[in-house]
Amino acid sequence: MIAKTYDAKAAGIKTGMPIWDAKKLMPHATYLSADFRFYGLISEKMFSILRRYSPDMEVYSIDEGFLDLNGTRQLWKKDYKGIAHDIRRAVHREVGITVSVGVSVTRILAKIASEYNKPNGVTIVPSSMIQLFLKRVKLSDVCGIGRNRLATLNKFSIHTPMDFVNADIEVIKQLLGKAGTDLWHEMKGTMAIGLELHAQLPKSMARTASMGEVTGNRKTIISHLIRHTSRLATELVTKRLLTKRITIFLRLKDFSSLSAQADFEYPTNNYFRLSRSVQAMMADLYQPNELYRACGIIAESITNAEDSMPDLFGVMKTDAKQASIFATMDDINKKYGRGTLRVAGAHVSNISGQRVRFMYPMIEAN
């Protein structure tokens, strides 16, 4: 389970719970397959709306962000509450989803405030109302205080947000380190955690999935790996990223795994280069007498394409030209449906709830 409704949460369903356990708790509930590509498109639309209200924005996660609203009241001729409601209404009108908005003097207080009035409300916490607000929330509601930290604080008689802000900062430092003192300052109304306005490079990017069957058929496994490689290459191209190392893995019937790793002389997002390495590693990993249930590819050593130095032999220049193929393919798939264009030899999956108008296999050529 990666997401749940409020009634499912009340029934005891937790994030990360296997679906068969969830069905025991709510057998008549509706369970939907995840579509991370669709989530990504919705996320892009939502953040494009948020950028209208402030140029200083941090994308915190796929469905959560922070805005610096300093100086925007004069621009919008509204107070912060009015701006927050405008944001909420704009997202609902243009994207079709509800959002909750929290506004306060620090990042942590704004985060707590946004959680306070879910799923479609606005909470404003000015400096004069911080103590009153903290009396209404739980210490476990504070971003950065998970189960282990909460247990540590409880041992020292810190059970509520007010206990936390009234504690000596040296005690907080000894218990939680710098992260704890940053929280302490933020919850008292002093900014200690700024916005990360420039997106951090991911440490890794992966495309993995169950094959939907247990099989020993080499061609079937390769077709799944080719599909994962194609999707990974497309993501690298569209995000203008390169990788210098890839790992593939095969998960056996007994859930044990086999893996292999390949390094590239130059960073790349070229599908053909990635695919050749994947198939070479597959030849070494595959054991004909075994049965397999899942496979995947992981890219590491990620860099920005713009930051890469050209190589002596023009390999990266050639890669950049071929990347345009996948950028075009991605545009077509966004317009006509995922899988409209695909790499030849890639496994074709049934996309639940999505009607593909037509499908041409993409010719694999250098």
- Asked if 183 and 211 sit in the same domain, the reply is no
**Residue 356 and residue 351: Cα distance in Å, rounded?**
9
Residue 127 to residues 94, 104, 164, Cα–Cα distance (Å) = 32, 8, 17
- Asked if 108 and 254 sit in the same domain, the reply is no
Q: Tell me the HSE value of 1 on the side-chain side, using a 13 A CA sphere.
A: 22
205 phi and psi, to 5 degrees?
Answer: -135, 135
pLDDT of residue 196: 85
Q: Which of 29-38, 110-119, 169-178 has the lowest mean pLDDT?
A: 29-38
- Asked if 105 and 218 sit in the same domain, the reply is no
Of the residues 187, 221, 250, the one at which a domain ends:
187
pLDDT of residue 305: 83
Q: Which of 15-29, 211-225, 275-289, 352-366 has the lowest mean pLDDT?
A: 352-366
Of the residues 140, 156, 187, the one at which a domain ends:
187
Asked if pLDDT for residue 358 goes beyond 50, the answer is: no
pLDDT of residue 336: 66
Contact 292, 224 (CB under 8 A): no
Residue 283 to residues 260, 275, 279, 287, Cα–Cα distance (Å) = 10, 12, 6, 9
Q: Which helix (H) or strand (E) holds 101?
A: strand 101-104
The percent of residues in the chain predicted with pLDDT above 70, rounded, is: 83
Burial class (CB in 10 A: 0-12, 13-18, 19+), 144: middle
Residue 176 lies in a domain: yes
User: Which residues sit opposite 61 in a β-bridge?
Assistant: 64
Section 18-24 average pLDDT: 85
Among candidate residues 301, 297, 273, 274, the one with its CA nearest the CA of residue 285: 297
Token pair, residue 98, equals 């509800």
Section 332-361 average pLDDT: 51
Residue 42 lies in a domain: yes
Token pair, residue 291, equals 């049965």
- Asked if 108 and 178 sit in the same domain, the reply is yes
Asked if pLDDT for residue 349 goes beyond 70, the answer is: no
Section 292-317 average pLDDT: 78
Give pLDDT tens digits for 208-254: 988 888 999 999 999 999 989 988 988 888 788 899 999 999 999 99
- Asked if 280 and 338 sit in the same domain, the reply is yes
DSSP 8-state class, residue 22: H
CATH number, domain with residue 282: 3.30.1490.100
Q: Which residue has the higher pLDDT, 128 or 31?
A: 128
Q: Which of 52-66, 148-162, 192-206, 334-348 has the lowest mean pLDDT?
A: 334-348
**Residue 279 and residue 315: Cα distance in Å, rounded?**
20
pLDDT of residue 237: 83
Asked if pLDDT for residue 356 goes beyond 50, the answer is: no
Domain that holds residue 301: 204-362
Q: What is the tally of structural domains in the chain?
A: 2
pLDDT of residue 330: 63
**Residue 338 and residue 208: Cα distance in Å, rounded?**
17
Q: Helix or strand or coil: residue 264? A: strand
Section 309-319 average pLDDT: 58
Residue 353 lies in a domain: yes
CATH number, domain with residue 78: 3.30.70.270
**Residue 230 and residue 50: Cα distance in Å, rounded?**
31
Helix axes 218-238, 271-285, angle to 10 degrees: 150
pLDDT of residue 128: 96
**Residue 57 and residue 46: Cα distance in Å, rounded?**
12
- Asked if 75 and 158 sit in the same domain, the reply is yes
- Asked if 78 and 173 sit in the same domain, the reply is yes
pLDDT of residue 37: 65
Residue 343 to residues 16, 145, 281, 360, Cα–Cα distance (Å) = 32, 45, 19, 9
Q: Which of 17-31, 79-93, 151-165, 316-330 has the lowest mean pLDDT?
A: 316-330
Residue 160 lies in a domain: yes
Contact 347, 224 (CB under 8 A): yes
Of the residues 127, 154, 187, the one at which a domain ends:
187
